[in-house]
Amino acid sequence: MSTKGLPKTAASIRSAAVIGSGVMGAGIAAHLANAGMRVLLLDVVPRQLTAEEERQGLTLADAKVRSRLALAAVARMAKAQPAQLYDAAWSTRIKAGNLEDDLAALGDADWIIEAVVERLDVKREVLAAIASVRRPGTLVSTNTSGLSAGAMVAGLSEEFRRHFAATHFFNPPRYMKLVEIVPTASTDPAVAGLLKEVCEKRLGKGVVIAKDTPNFIANRIGSYGMLVTLEDTLAFGLTVEEADALTGPAMGRPKTATFRMLDLVGLDTLLHVVDNVRERSEDAAERAVFARPPVLEKLVAAGRLGEKSGAGFYRKV
């Protein structure tokens, strides 16, 4: 097997690209920039102008509009970063753009991280676009919460598949120490080793190597716990505040143990995670546990996605 073009060590990874500037992509981009990498952060091109953009006389062709999502993500992160945690210049190392106009620039990246919405079809499309421009040897990873990493790259070249694995960061990436690295059947061991080294040595993370099974390790257990707590909360007629108090500090866990955490994660993302286990499980009892909770479906249908939409289980997040 050849890994020609692969960065030699974690220290030689100078530039990265993150595709998807949502809750996770923005946080990962900020963390990489803080570690000294130049980062290109890309999202989709918006289809409509905001009222403010219309007022300013901008059109859908303006670069500022076309890269609005990634630009807004950097501004959001700048607000969220406690000054003492990151170096003062981290945001200057991030260039915000969009996947349509900046696709070719991915050819300059040493490491490309896919962090788009948790849907296999969308991820496959984005990874194929990356494959069309990426330099041989460039590391590519997905931040999926638990979709099959192998299925995402089926059909792409062997060289691409050798350089690909999942690097599952946790939310928020600036505080959460764990990264699950999930090699597929095609991942070169040298690639998995380099991803482990960069996560540990450059990003200060603790790495666990997981198998490419539904939701890997932490989310398989975590999402099960969340679903059972939700069921008990409804059965006992508790408020979300009471459930958070009972499952938080009283049990030696953080204040954000359950519903605050779900609002941070994104309720739509939790639904995708639950669907993923149910649809891929061969165990009827497990499929029953991972049924979609109606209350979660209702909140998502009403646009209450958690912190990213301003309301979730809590009316105001």
Nearer to ligand NAD, 26 or 194 (CB): 26
Q: Which residues, including other chains, have CB under 8 Å from residue 215's CB and lie 6 or more apart?
A: 145, 146, 223, 273, 276, 277
- Min CB(312)–ligand NAD separation in Å: 12
- Min CB(227)–ligand NAD separation in Å: 16
Contact present, 220 and 277 (Cβ < 8 Å): yes
Nearer to ligand NAD, 106 or 115 (CB): 115
- Min CB(190)–ligand NAD separation in Å: 25
Residue 85 has, within 13 A of its CA and on its CB side, a CA count of 15
The Cα-based distances of 9 to 4, 183, 198 in angstroms read 13, 18, 8
Nearer to ligand NAD, 34 or 223 (CB): 223
Tell me the residue nearest to ligand NAD as measured from the CB.
22
Alpha carbons 161 and 105: distance in angstroms, whole number: 21
- Min CB(176)–ligand NAD separation in Å: 9
Nearer to ligand NAD, 6 or 130 (CB): 130
3-class DSSP assignment, residue 7: coil
Per 3-state DSSP, the chain is made up of helix, strand and coil in percentages (nearest 5) of 50, 15, 40
DSSP 8-class letter at 198: I
- Residues near ligand NAD (CB under 6 A) are 19-25, 43-44, 69, 99, 115-118, 122, 126, 143-145, 168, 170-171, 265-266, 269, 308
- Min CB(122)–ligand NAD separation in Å: 5
Nearer to ligand NAD, 97 or 248 (CB): 97
- Min CB(317)–ligand NAD separation in Å: 13
Stated as kind and residue range, the H or E segment containing 111 is: strand 111-114
Nearer to ligand NAD, 164 or 188 (CB): 164
